[in-house]
């Protein structure tokens, strides 16, 4: 479920509430990536799981680099980027 940009603008408080409700209902795994919302999604998930981090398996991905042109992406696997 996209919470950053893929489905249009989302209200941050609503997104946090959805994530926390999902955890309350039994969701135990969240997935994000630095390219989702250009980092916004990772920040959002961080806020949402404050105080309940021990209930979550958290996955993230890295290496896909976005540009201002939505048609162009690059790859960066250098250790300093990771």
Residue 36 falls in the annotated catalytic set: yes
Residues in contact with 51: Cβ distance below 8 Å, sequence separation at least 6, in sequence order: none
Identified catalytic residue from 36, 37, 45, 48: 36
Question: How far is the first Cα of the chain from the last one, in angstroms, to the nearest whole number?
Answer: 24
Q: Which residues are catalytically annotated?
A: 36
């Amino acid at each position: 479920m996209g919470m950053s940009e893929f489905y249009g603008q989302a209200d941050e408080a609503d997104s946090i509430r959805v994530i926390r409700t999902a955890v309350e209902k039994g969701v135990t795994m969240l997935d994000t990536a630095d390219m989702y919302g250009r980092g916004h999604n990772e920040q959002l998930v961080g806020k949402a799981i404050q105080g309940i981090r021990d209930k979550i398996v958290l996955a993230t991905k890295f290496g896909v680099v976005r540009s201002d042109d939505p048609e162009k992406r690059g790859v960066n696997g250098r250790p300093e980027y990771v």
